[in-house]
Structure 1
Amino acid sequence: MSGSSETTPFALELSGIAKNFGSVAALKDISFTLRKGEFLTMLGPSGSGKTTTLRIIAGFMQPDRGDVRMHGVSVAGAPPNRRNIGMVFQDYALFPHMSVADNVAFPLLARGCDKADAARRAAAMLDVVGLSGFGPRSVRQLSGGQGQRVALARALVFGPELVLLDEPMAALDKKLRGTMQTEILRIVKQLGATVISVTHDQEEALVMSDRIALFENGALAQIGTPQALYETPSNPFVADFIGEANVLEGRVGAGNTIAGAGWRTGAGHHALPGAGEAVRIAIRPEKIHLADEGEAGVEVTLRQSTYLGVEYRLLVTLADGTPLQVRNRDMRRLAGLQPGETVRLTWAPEDLIVLRGA
């Protein structure tokens, strides 16, 4: 790390944030940092603490303990309008009685900008979000995707230090969500914006984020790049929440192997506990393949085969009845399989994930 980066304050720093609602601990010691220009997604199931954290960052709620700093300066206790934060709400919260241009110009006028300059900057921001010429329209005339772009333009037009997105894709259909993910990324990267987004959609988080902060029961389960959370999850919850994972329980055998009821696998380069110790592993459905003739594998019983166009999704069971999900594109071999058949599966030892924690 260079000397300049070591002395530059983080765009945002949360330290030991805790929040209780009565006897319920909504947040437990939440700490992380965010660099300028970074896109962080706070991900997790409902009730995991991500929205409460967002509200504390925005200033809509105060923590019971801990501090929030922006560029090295504490903003604890500062109201939302003193934090220089832009926000896109789940329902966009556009002013229905205003035109598109007036919605975008509103934060500038509220900050004392003169009308001519505000109009010019609003028009320029509408051009950035791909809505050039939409200024005179009523927001009632906009589609969902257009409304989202107007809300994003309004959040970005005054050059905020931080932009918060609260479930930004929730109101959009699946096809439009994919388009808008790409568009939002283009816009915020073009402007160099620092962004925190909240979602419960793990695919959205994987697509859009520089890093993901995964919440579980008010705590941070893991924070890191999408690749790190997918390929090296810290515990079974992370493995199961990010993508799909088959979790198996076994014991360490000789020669760096792991065995369970009716199955055995090499562990490759993975460091394991001592022989005889219990161990939990995960294997992604797309990493499991049909064994070739003569190749060692695990015998399973096919329970269900679903054709998905580009791949088959298989549900199989091990000898003890443990289910496994398999996603495979060996279309010709899979097409003829019938429920009840015995097949042999295999995977590369390096594709195993050795899980730590509960």
Structure 2
Amino acid sequence: MSEILNKLSGQGVSIWLDDISRERLRTGNLDDLIRDKNVVGVTSNPTIFAGALSKGDAYDTQMHDLAVRGVDVGEAVRAITTYDIRWAADVLRPVYDATSGVDGRVSIEVDPRLARDADKTIAEARALWWLVDRPNLFIKIPATVEGLTAITQAIGEGISVNVTLIFSLARYRAVMDAWLAGLEAAQAKGLNLATIESVASFFVSRVDSEIDKRLDKIGGKDALKGKAGVANARLAYAAYEEVMNSERWQRLRAAGARTQRPLWASTGVKNPDYRDTMYVDDLVAPGTVNTMPEKTLDAAADHGNVTGDTVRPFYEQAWNTMAELKEAGVDYDDVVRVLEDEGVQKFEASWNELLDSVSKNLVP
């Protein structure tokens, strides 16, 4: 095992892999990452699945069988993706058992074309929860305004949720409120709150990419580039701590509920001028998840710099950074609105690419 990743895990950071593929599963690569690189969870999204289907022959047999059966493309996509998710969940089941259900989790996302429709999102969440049928599953629901309603409904029905595509601090607070409301609904129904897990995926590198682009247009503010993503995430953790200290949460905790952990997503560095491990090194805090592309995971294992808590001691610095960005002319509200819209659109595009790829390969 990597000594650096051991230190990261020791600081209370759960290391998840932001990738899944049939090839990774059948070769035992995921088992290797669990053993050698402290990986205790897996996330997926439409882009990841579209990429997986475009490489190799791992899906050919199943694709042929689906074509022979005459299934439509939508059913075929669900059959293919849920097969991989079930397999990964079974591989990670020992981690799930060893951590009493905290880790060992695998996430699958609802059809992103439903992101602006609460009723269809919750219907899809129920269908995926039933179809995968594994206790260590997370259903990913986008943190759109409409998604908030679906999050509360899903949690209230006992479905464990990974809330994705969070960019703004205000929306993150709304996500936590939706999660708490869901737990309260579940409690009213007499459900066992200890069986309902959740994480909130706060995106990091995309914030820097968008704000850096705006700083380039403003000019003369290079010192602020590459600072917003980490500052934004650190302030999200401050908001999380505030909610964890609330009476509302303490009542639910006393009833057996488990916290909704902050998850750092989009942690692959997109600007080659930046440290390739900065979204790992600079976001170390207890009770968090960092879901990394394999390239970032390898970099962190090789030369990450884990020095202890790099979030809570820097709240004031984070507030100062955000204030300086505002003074420089960066409109934070517009940034996060653009990022949410683009995030939904990108996942929709990947989903359509996935549908198109499966459609072309459904050959008996």
Q: TM-score range by the shorter chain?
A: under 0.3
Bigger Rg, which one: 1
Calculate the TM-score normalised by the size of structure 1.
0.27
More helix per residue: 1 or 2?
2
- The structure with the greater share of residues assigned to strand is 1
